[in-house]
Amino acid sequence: DDCLTTGLSAFVAIYGSCTKSDLRMQLAFERSVEIGPYRCSRLGIGTWSWGNRLLFGYDESQDDSLRDTFDYCVARGVNFFDTGDSYGTGPRFQGRAETLLGRFSENNGSSDDVVLATKLASFPWRITPGSFERASQDSARRLRCSSVPLVQIHWSTANYAPWQDKVIWEGFARMYEKGYAKAIGVSNFGPRQLRDIHHFMRERGVPLSSCQFQMSLLKRSAIESGLLETCGELGIQPIGYSPLCLGVLTGKYSVNQLPTGARGILFRELLKGSQVLLRTLRAISAERGKSVAQVAINWSLSQDVLTLVGARSVVQAVDSLGATGWRLTGQELEDLDRAARACTQQMIENP
């Protein structure tokens, strides 16, 4: 169809001769992640930008491009899409990403093959287990599914409202037991918090399937804190988001060429403090014949995490899919890690 032809043409123009079957084989090589009852592609699509006017300038005229991006990714073997019930700016667009995913999945005819994962926000007014059960049902309606494949706690309240944590955990245990969610997971938890909720769920006989966290060359705290190791120890699938740091690690920006809006303010200091890393990325990019973004994404994939990338157009999706089907060498990984440690600025938590 049109979006596949457009995507393939873009890939050929940028990376040389390639066929649809070549890319299917690349994605099949990555398709080895198990979350609950599902087998998921190692590369997934994050939808934070879908409906986000503040950081990404979303408006409804972009919906056709987002639909084409979804169709392109599904046709290429990507079957994991991550969203959240708080994704979307303001009352008008809150839940917009879920709504779009549900519509695209239903219209594409891929509902049975695609794993739609959402996150429920730990809002302060959600103070009962039932409020989270109802939130999961609201998400299911927007996603147009009877039971959400994966529902995740968006963040822990341990640092500011520790009493709410157990309420949230109880709500998630119930939604799994009642079949509102096929699998449950967490997001933005530290290693101690992960052990605590894993113990709670194990006592209830509820499997904890995934743990999502920020993961990039400018945010390596999941490695340094032992969180990634804890996931492996507990048998929990790690999911890494923001491998490109909202675009800092695409190689497209400099201190003299910043994105507009709020990202430009954030990027100014990050770019100043990460020049050694960007030079290393560009050197490997040139040597490998890959884009800078592909090298940064491949670093994340090389940490054995399901890696989420943002995509608002087929061209962006083509570039991200080009990060699969190959591996950085041990020396290249060492060079990138060394350059990352030399950075004087790190990505902030949950920007």
Domain of 246, CATH number, reads 3.20.20.100
For 192, other C-beta atoms within 10 Å of its C-beta total: 12
Residue 349 inside a domain? The answer is no
Report the pLDDT value the prediction gives residue 19, as an integer from 0 to 100: 53
DSSP H or E segment with residue 211: strand 208-214
Between the two ends of the chain, the Cα-to-Cα distance in Å is 36
Q: Say if 348 falls within a structural domain.
A: no
Q: Is residue 294 part of a domain?
A: yes
Active site residues: 87
| Number of Cβ atoms within 10 Å of the Cβ of 62 | 18
pLDDT value at position 12?
46
* Residue 351, in any domain of the structure: no
State yes or no: pLDDT of 268 exceeds 60. yes
CA distance 101 to 67: 8
For the segment 306-341, what is each residue's pLDDT rounded down to a tens digit?
999 999 999 999 999 999 999 999 999 999 999 999
Mean pLDDT estimate for the chain: 90
Crossing angle of helices 292-301 and 314-321, rounded to 10° = 60
Is residue 150 included in any domain, yes or no? yes
The three-point CA angle 10-42-203 to 5° equals: 155
pTM for this one? 0.89
Q: Is the pLDDT of residue 21 over 90?
A: no
Note whether 85 and 51 are within 8 A (CB). no
- Does position 194 have pLDDT exceeding 60, yes or no? yes
pLDDT digits (tens, 9 = 90+) for 35-47: 999 999 999 999 9
Total tally of structural domains belonging to the chain: 1
Question: 208 — alpha (psi -120 to 50), left (phi > 0) or beta?
Answer: beta
Q: Give the tens place of pLDDT for each residue, 47-93.
A: 998 988 777 778 889 999 999 999 999 999 999 999 999 998 777 77
